[in-house]
């Protein structure tokens, strides 16, 4: 029986060479800011409870962000991959609807730092509770 179809001699003879490696450029997944919006009707305590529950914040962090949004109109509650951000927006919306308050969160693509999308340094609301998750 012939030993494979290998007519090489010397170095490499008898070895099977495979060249099927694929080079895949791994990019960071695009991230999305979850923005919390102010309104005139949702009670402050309710906003704090929703932030603690949906964004896993301490009461102090949640109060700080709630006040930031109350004073500036909008703030960043967190930055996540799309599906997580989308879920958190929906959870805020569901809690607000159930309690009949107009509290609202929305999504915004986060700059990935690779392209110039016109963003200059900071963002709309600014981090108010210690920066992005590490
Ligand atoms: N402005 C609201 C009030 O005075 C409180 C509030 C804060 C509402 C943050 C929404 O995202 C919000 N009761």
Tell me which residue has tokens 């900071």. Answer: 122
> Which residues 6+ apart lie within 8 Å of 40 measured at CB?
none
pLDDT digits (tens, 9 = 90+) for 1-32: 344 444 444 554 555 555 566 677 888 889 99
**How many angstroms separate the CA atoms of 48 and 134, rounded?**
23
**How many angstroms separate the CA atoms of 68 and 133, rounded?**
19
Question: What is the 106 CA–ligand 1 centroid distance (Å)?
Answer: 15
Pocket of ligand 1 (CB under 6 A): 36-40, 42-44, 47, 66, 69-70, 103
Question: What is the 34 CA–ligand 1 centroid distance (Å)?
Answer: 16
pLDDT digits (tens, 9 = 90+) for 28-79: 889 999 999 999 999 999 999 999 999 999 999 999 999 999 999 999 999 9
pLDDT digits (tens, 9 = 90+) for 83-105: 999 999 999 999 999 999 999 99
Please check whether residue 96 is in contact with residue 102, taking contact to mean a CB–CB distance below 8 angstroms.
Answer: yes
User: Which residue minimizes the CA distance to atom 10 of ligand 1?
Assistant: 38
User: Which residue minimizes the CA distance to atom 5 of ligand 1?
Assistant: 44
């Amino acid at each position: 029986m012939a030993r494979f179809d290998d007519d090489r001699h010397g170095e490499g003879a008898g070895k099977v060479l495979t060249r099927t490696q694929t080079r895949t450029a791994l990019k960071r997944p695009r991230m999305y800011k979850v923005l919390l919006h102010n309104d005139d009707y949702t009670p402050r305590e309710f906003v704090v409870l929703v932030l603690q529950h949906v964004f896993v914040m301490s009461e102090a962090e949640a109060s700080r962000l709630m006040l930031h949004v109350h004073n500036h109109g909008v703030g960043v509650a967190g930055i996540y991959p799309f599906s997580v951000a989308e879920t958190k927006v929906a959870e805020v919306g569901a809690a607000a609807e159930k309690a009949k308050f107009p509290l609202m969160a929305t999504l915004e693509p986060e700059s990935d730092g690779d392209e110039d999308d016109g963003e200059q340094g900071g963002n709309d609301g600014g981090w108010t509770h210690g920066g992005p998750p590490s």
